[in-house]
Structure 1
Amino acid sequence: MIRTATAADVPELHAMVRELADYEKSLHEVRVAEEQLREALFGERPAAFAHIAESDEDGSVVGFALWFLNFSTWRGTHGIYLEDLYVRPERRGGGHGKALLTELARICVERGYERLEWSVLNWNAPSIAFYEALGARPQDEWTVYRLTDGALAELGGAGV
Structure 2
Amino acid sequence: MIAIRTAAPQDVALILDLIRELALYEREPDAVVATEAMLHDALFGRRVAESLIAELDGRPVGFALFFHNFSTWTGKPGIYLEDLYVTPDARGSGAGKALLRHLAGIALDRDCGRFEWAVLDWNTPAIDFYRAMGAQAMDEWTVQRVSGDALVALAGRD
Equivalent residues, number: 156
Matched AA of 2:147: T
Query: Is 2:127 the partner of 1:128?
Result: yes
Q: Deviations over 1:26-78 (max 9, x none)?
A: 111110001000000000x200000000112xx11100000000000000000
- Unmatched segments (≥5 aa) in structure 2: none
- Out of 35, 38, 46, the position equivalent to 1:36 is 38
Matched AA of 1:39: D
1-side partners of 2:109 and 2:49: how far apart?
Answer: 18
Which residue number corresponds to residue 104 of structure 2? 105
2-side partners of 1:37 and 1:150: how far apart?
Answer: 23
Counterparts of 1:9-48 in structure 2, within 5 Å, are 9-43=11-45, 45-48=46-49
How many Å apart are 1:5 and its aligned residue?
A: 0.2
1-side partners of 2:102 and 2:152: how far apart?
Answer: 37
Corresponding residue SS for 1:27: coil
Counterparts of 1:1-160 in structure 2, within 5 Å, are 1-43=3-45, 45-56=46-57, 59-159=58-158
2-side partners of 1:61 and 1:96: how far apart?
Answer: 10
Give TM-score, length-normalised by structure 2. Answer: 0.97
Corresponding residue SS for 2:137: coil
Q: Deviations over 1:108-151 (max 9, x none)?
A: 11121010000000000000000000110100010000001111
1-side partners of 2:110 and 2:32: how far apart?
Answer: 32
Corresponding residue SS for 1:29: coil
Using the aligned pairs only, state the percent identity: 54
1-side partners of 2:157 and 2:148: how far apart?
Answer: 11
Corresponding residue SS for 1:31: coil
RMSD: 0.6
Matched AA of 1:23: Y
Corresponding residue SS for 1:93: coil
Corresponding residue SS for 1:138: coil
Corresponding residue SS for 2:30: helix
Segments ≥4 residues shifted beyond 3 Å: none
2-side partners of 1:11 and 1:111: how far apart?
Answer: 28
Matched AA of 1:16: L
- Unmatched segments (≥5 aa) in structure 1: none
Give TM-score, length-normalised by structure 1. Answer: 0.96
